[in-house]
Amino acid sequence: MPDTTNTPPFASAANSVFRVALIGAAIALAGWALLSTVGCMANQHGDYTKDGKNIAKDRIDALKGQTEYQMAMQAFLDADLEKAGKHAEKAMLLAPKVSRVFVLRGRIMLEKSDIQQAQASFSKAMEIDPKDVEAHYYMGILNERITKKEDALANYREANELDPENVQYPIAAADMLIELGRVDEAESFLQQQQAQLHHTAGIQQMLGKIAVLRGDNAGAEKFFTEARILASDETSVLEDLARAQFNLSKWGEAESNLARLLRTPEYNERRDLSRMRAKCLASLNRNAEARDLLVTLTKGDIGQADVEAWISLGQVAYTLGDWSRVRQSFVRTISLAPERPEGYILRGLHQRRTSDFKGAEQSFRKALEISPSAESYIMLGLIYQKQHNEQAAKTCFARAATLDPQDKVAQQLVQDPTLAAKIAGVDNQ
């Protein structure tokens, strides 16, 4: 052990400082060596590190893009188009190679009636992924809106080929064929699809609509009934079925289905269906119910201007002998639609009841000037009969029979002149 008895105090301190300095230098050298090694490693693997960073960034952007897409879709479903558009723009920047982002943006632009931007978005989506079925489908909707029907048809057909299991695409294509007047082709196309898709409500419903276009109400009812079985909750199918039954004069079935429709929130304000139901009720001799329904329909600002409801109310009121409402109906009808014959017919009937035969003659003549019909000729003939103008009455009955050979009353009046006198003798029918 060295003798430190005579070593000055500062010498020990100096040695300690020196040792610390040496240790510090050693650490510094080691540090530089380490940095040099790391630097060399960085130079050797720089490309790998850069690729890794890019991959990580792409993954983060993809996640952000997915979030923006979801937010855009939610805003779109909430009908907040401005918010949806902003999120869609961000999603496009973050995920420029994802086709569905551009499809959504196109849908947003389409809703905003920005056709040019919508078209650019759908085109970009198809460029990114030519098999994106929704891009083709919504491009079809766009082309249909701008009346490029052939292009729309091509889009729908392409969507159908890409996804043959989705029934909305062949239905859209068939609907476009009908728009183009190619009804036979539409029917043949749907029948081919039916074989592949088996029995689906949409196909049956479209075939029913084709039957309606051809005037085949019985065939239409058959298709709509089948569609109704396959989609019992689909109200549009029930409406089509009710209309077919109405056209077939199946008043009971039609009235029941119309009543069911009118009880739903979606349909309870459909005035056209309420008028149809009133017609069914009247045809079922439920005239008081029909009158109550029509009185309701003629109330309010919209009701006051509903010509069809006023005409129907007048006809039902005439059957019930409700002359105050007959008068109210013909006054309102003539005021709203002086170019239609119904108001003058109702006025003529009211005038006949009050023995104003001259006024009734003028009213029925006016109706005939507007639209010649067997009904109006018969009524005018009966007025002539009341005025003892037998020859004019016969002429009217003959014209009625000529206009409508299927009108049994007109044929009977021509064949039996005494029948006219009997009918004319009854003023309050």
State percent of the chain over pLDDT 70: 83
pLDDT of residue 196: 72
Decide if pLDDT at 326 tops 60: yes
Tell me, rounded to whole angstroms, the distance of Cα 159 from its chain centroid: 20
pLDDT digit string (tens) for 62-119? Answer: 788 789 899 999 999 999 999 999 999 999 998 899 999 999 999 999 999 999 999 9
Look up residue 341 and give its DSSP letter: S
Rounded CA separation 350/359 (Å)? 10
Decide if pLDDT at 22 tops 50: no
Q: How confident is the model at residue 197 (pLDDT cuts 50, 70, 90)?
A: confident
φ/ψ (deg, to 5) at 322: -90, 80
DSSP output for 281-322: HHHTT-HHHHHHHHHHHT-HHHHHT-HHHHHHHHHHHHHHT-
- Return the minimum-mean-pLDDT range out of 223-232, 369-378, 420-429: 420-429
> The whole model's pTM is what?
0.75
pLDDT digit string (tens) for 213-234? Answer: 999 999 999 999 999 999 999 9
Decide if pLDDT at 31 tops 50: no
Q: How confident is the model at residue 306 (pLDDT cuts 50, 70, 90)?
A: very high
pLDDT of residue 1: 41
Residue 292 vs residues 269, 303, 366: alpha-carbon distances, Å? 16, 13, 30
Average pLDDT, the chain: 86
pLDDT of residue 194: 78
Q: Which helix (H) or strand (E) holds 387?
A: none
